[in-house]
């Protein structure tokens, strides 16, 4: 994997995309802003924060029809900004897949009127613009089909042993009846396989929030990926120290020497949310974004900057403007 990792660390600048059904409420549920309901306040967590039932949340899919979505336009925007790769949420914690899936009907092709495979379109667009391609996949948390069960199982065990269980991220308001094992066997692992068999261009898998995952469970994902495509490298959030590259924390730069031992990537936001949040106008200035980019790259890392497209597929204007400014700056100042 040495070359894949070197190649990754040479990319320097990439685009992260958080997109899904949560773009429809955009941080507001039944007139309430997320901050009025609880935490965290990032828009892609609205199902948990507003305690939306699985059935009610799934209805958002009926409305998901991003008429102005254009993967080529987004890829071109990234390319013009000097970015070298794109990673998009193939499935976030809400369990809704942005690709056609046999493992779960809760996906953009089968459950929404949009009826287009968004991951396939990004795969194509990246190829067209010479960008590397990766996917985010929430392998552990799935509010529609699973992680709550893992929480219950672990809690029972830990209660017996007098240990505390961290419930962070578990669906405790409307838990799925599935066991965690069946979620792994029938949705999570099969969907990772579907992605990898279908999209041979995928180079990075950004697993996230491993939570209570056991080492053998993280390893199952690692092995699944490696067996299908050994060129792919995996984020450390696969859990249990099994990742190929480090994520020092959102909007963070490593401070400890040992954190520089493996390739690393800082992920950052334009405002304070990953998914589209209609009322978050707290945009970083282009100077601040450039500061992050230079600070990270000069220390040897990659900077993956996130956009949250709106439900109609459009990208907020501040994002477009700031990316254009960065692109111009790089054109003038970057050495060959």
* Contact set with ligand JFZ (CB under 6 A): 42, 44-45, 208-209, 249-250, 267, 274
Contact yes or no for 179/149 (Cβ under 8 A): yes
Looking at residue 260, what DSSP letter applies?
Answer: G
CB of 94 to ligand JFZ, least distance (A): 10
CB of 273 to ligand JFZ, least distance (A): 9
Nearer to ligand JFZ, 16 or 222 (CB): 16
CB of 42 to ligand JFZ, least distance (A): 5
Nearer to ligand JFZ, 227 or 250 (CB): 250
CB of 40 to ligand JFZ, least distance (A): 8
Q: Quick check: helix, strand or coil at residue 315?
A: coil
Nearer to ligand JFZ, 279 or 325 (CB): 279
Nearer to ligand JFZ, 194 or 208 (CB): 208
Contact yes or no for 280/257 (Cβ under 8 A): no
Tokens of 45: 């967590």
CB of 240 to ligand JFZ, least distance (A): 15
Contacts of 156 (CB under 8 A, 6+ apart): none
* Minimal CB distance residue for ligand JFZ: 249
- Name the H helices within the chain: 2-9, 34-37, 46-49, 54-58, 60-63, 71-80, 108-111, 118-129, 147-161, 180-183, 189-198, 215-228, 286-298, 317-333
Nearer to ligand JFZ, 93 or 329 (CB): 93
Which of these, 82, 88, 87, lies nearest to 12 by C-alpha position?
Answer: 82
């Amino acid at each position: 994997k040495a070359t894949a990792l070197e190649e990754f660390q040479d990319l320097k600048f990439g685009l992260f995309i958080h997109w899904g059904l949560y773009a429809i409420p955009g941080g507001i549920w039944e007139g309430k802003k997320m901050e009025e309901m609880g935490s965290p306040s990032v828009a892609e967590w609205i199902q948990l924060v507003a305690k939306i039932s699985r059935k009610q949340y799934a209805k958002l899919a009926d409305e998901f029809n991003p008429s102005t979505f254009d993967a080529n336009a987004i890829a071109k925007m990234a390319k013009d900004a000097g970015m070298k790769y794109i990673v998009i949420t193939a499935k976030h914690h809400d369990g809704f897949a942005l690709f056609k899936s046999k493992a779960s009907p809760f996906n953009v092709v089968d459950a929404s009127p949009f009826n287009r495979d968004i991951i396939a379109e990004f795969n194509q667009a990246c190829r067209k613009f010479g960008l590397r391609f990766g996917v985010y996949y929430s392998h552990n948390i799935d509010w529609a089909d699973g992680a709550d069960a893992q929480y219950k199982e672990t809690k029972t065990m830990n209660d017996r042993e007098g240990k505390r269980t961290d419930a962070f991220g578990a669906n405790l308001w409307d838990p799925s009846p599935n066991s965690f094992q069946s979620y792994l066997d029938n949705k999570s692992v099969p969907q990772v396989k579907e992605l990898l068999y279908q999209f041979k261009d995928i180079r990075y898998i950004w697993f996230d929030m491993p939570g209570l995952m056991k080492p053998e469970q993280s390893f199952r994902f690692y092995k699944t990926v490696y067996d299908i495509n050994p060129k792919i490298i995996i984020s450390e959030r696969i859990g249990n120290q099994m990742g190929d590259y480090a994520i020092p924390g959102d909007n963070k730069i490593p401070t400890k020497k040992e954190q520089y031992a493996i390739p690393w990537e800082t992920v950052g936001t334009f405002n304070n949310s990953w998914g589209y949040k209609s009322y978050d106008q707290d945009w970083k200035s282009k100077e601040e974004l450039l500061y992050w980019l230079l600070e990270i790259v000069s220390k040897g890392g990659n900077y993956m900057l996130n956009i949250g497209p709106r439900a109609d597929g459009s990208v907020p204007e501040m994002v477009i403007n700031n990316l254009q400014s960065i692109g111009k700056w790089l054109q003038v100042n970057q050495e060959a």
